Structure 1
Amino acid sequence: MGALDGKAAIVTGSSRGIGAEVAKLLAAEGAAVVVNYRQKAPRANKVVAQIEEAGGRAVAVAADLTAEEGSQALVDAARQNFGGLDVLVLNASGGMETSMGEDYALRLNRDAQVNMLKAAAEVMPTGSRVVFVTSHQAHFIRTVPTMPEYEPVALSKRAGEDALRDLLPELEAKGISLVVVSGDMIEGTVTATLLDRARPGALEARRAEAGKLYSVEEFGAEVAKMVTADVPSGHTEYVGGAESFQSQG
């Protein structure tokens, strides 16, 4: 018996990296998982295949969360394939890309997060949980400066977190809890790679300051834990290296 037997989950941005790891871990606990991708269907299908080979249930669903219909497509997929929705992991983020338009970071990291949560909350029953994944660099951006190359993304992610927290009374009325997981730079992620490319040595410098940077697998495990953790709604879980940010803030 898994902790999530009989539950259905959506993990946004789960065709690779942290999202893929979370999707597999939730499936291992019994959840049926909607694996979301924007363009790379083969990657998402591989995650689904890995889940199914391990005895779990999953479906890959293409959805651009910045498009008006993207969020609803994921909710509809959860209901049609698995009969409902109990868990939402808001993992998808970005903004370091240079080809997606000037306001892309804000559209993805704030607007899309709110739209996804609102669509999901319409069908989630009492006792459901939402987990929002962010970074220390974004969570503490108002008190601790970050690299100029990352600042627009950090500000947009903090705006997203604030907008989600503004919905806490509405969620509480529905019996839905929201938990934020804040992590340091993660080895092997797209954002860390792009940052290190924009500012060579940035990853090594942060690794030296923090003492250790989590791997995708390690951080994914921490995110997955918060789906069933006994913590109050609005809780922030700090994963690795937060002390230096807290002392500066």
Structure 2
Amino acid sequence: MATLAGKVALVTGASRGIGAAIARRLAAEGASVAITYARDADAASQVVRDIESAGGKAIAIRADAADAAAVTAAVERAVSAFGKLDVLVNNAGTAIPKPFEEATLEEMDRMIDINLRGVLVATHTALRQMRDGGRIITIGSSVGERMMTPGLAAYAATKGAVKMFTQGLAREVAARGITVNNVQPGPIDTDLNPVAGDWATPQIANTALKRYGHVNDIAAMVAFVAGPEAGFITGASLTVDGGTNA
């Protein structure tokens, strides 16, 4: 049974990695899916084709998560295309791993603009369009709760902010039956954080399972939180990290 049949979802930053896996999983559960991408139109088009070839509905919208006007327009276009919005997944994010004292102001601004400001803008716009009983899900990080990996101090700060935003907003929109949750991945094998990368060794060492996770591990959690069985879960930070924070 398709748990999201008849629902409309918007997934930001979904041309690759975790976002693409989330988009495909939500579509497999029956949702019509709009995805945003910043630069790689070909990759975004491939995600749409994958969904359509499996019998689903999807569109791709170019919108850099750091561009507030573009993010706002993307939410509105998704609603225009599919007639409503039931699920927002704030997935777009970036990390620039390096010792904090070596980071430039531009790099810090980029992480803040995408990881935090972009989440605020997308959520602010979506709430005006979302029906009662909707779902807002943000992809945070296990380092937003417990920080053990050198080089991610500024990134962890943005994800910690997302965690607190989730808790605060959950109380504000509860009367509408809208749930707000934060899914916190640990080390997941993606282009931005490959299992063969230079930063992989300390991350693997910090996990209980001594390995990286797969993008589908995150997509499965998001699909559950977006579905009807998660209606009593809100304001939560749900960690999927192989025991990194255990």
Fold in common (TM above 0.5): yes
C-alpha displacement of 1:203: 4.0
Can you list the C-alpha shifts for 1:127-172, whole angstroms capped at 9, x where unaligned?
Answer: 10011112211222xxxx3223111101111112223332223222
Query: Counterpart in 2 of 1:241?
Result: 242
Counterpart of 1:152, as a letter, is A
C-alpha separation in 2, matches of 1:88 and 1:218: 19
Query: Counterpart in 1 of 2:161?
Result: 159
Can you list the C-alpha shifts for 1:191-245, whole angstroms capped at 9, x where unaligned?
Answer: x239943x463344235x4434311123222222221142321122222434x52
TM-score, structure 2 as length reference: 0.87
Query: Counterpart in 2 of 1:106?
Result: 112
Q: Residues 185 and 206 of structure 1 are in contact (CA less than 8 Å); yes or no, is this contact kept in structure 2?
A: no
How do 1:6-155 and structure 2 match up within 5 A? 6-96=6-96, 101-140=107-146, 145-155=147-157
Q: Residues 204 and 210 of structure 2 are in contact (CA less than 8 Å); yes or no, is this contact kept in structure 1?
A: no
Query: Counterpart in 1 of 2:181?
Result: 179
Q: Residues 110 and 163 of structure 1 are in contact (CA less than 8 Å); yes or no, is this contact kept in structure 2?
A: no
CA separation of 1:165 and 1:29: change in aligned 2, threshold 3 A: same
Identity rate, percent:
31
CA separation of 1:186 and 1:122: change in aligned 2, threshold 3 A: same
Counterpart of 2:38, as a letter, is R
Query: Counterpart in 1 of 2:100?
Result: none
C-alpha displacement of 1:85: 0.3
Query: Counterpart in 2 of 1:169?
Result: 171
Query: Counterpart in 1 of 2:212?
Result: 213
The two structures, once aligned, show a CA RMSD in angstroms of 2.3
Q: Which runs of 5+ in 2 are unaligned?
A: 98-102
- Does residue 225 (structure 1) correspond to residue 224 (structure 2)? The answer is yes
Q: Residues 110 and 161 of structure 1 are in contact (CA less than 8 Å); yes or no, is this contact kept in structure 2?
A: no
Q: Residues 35 and 60 of structure 2 are in contact (CA less than 8 Å); yes or no, is this contact kept in structure 1?
A: yes
SS of structure 2 residue aligned to 1:103: helix
C-alpha separation in 1, matches of 2:200 and 2:215: 21
Q: Which runs of 5+ in 1 are unaligned?
A: none
C-alpha separation in 1, matches of 2:64 and 2:195: 21
CA separation of 1:214 and 1:187: change in aligned 2, threshold 3 A: same
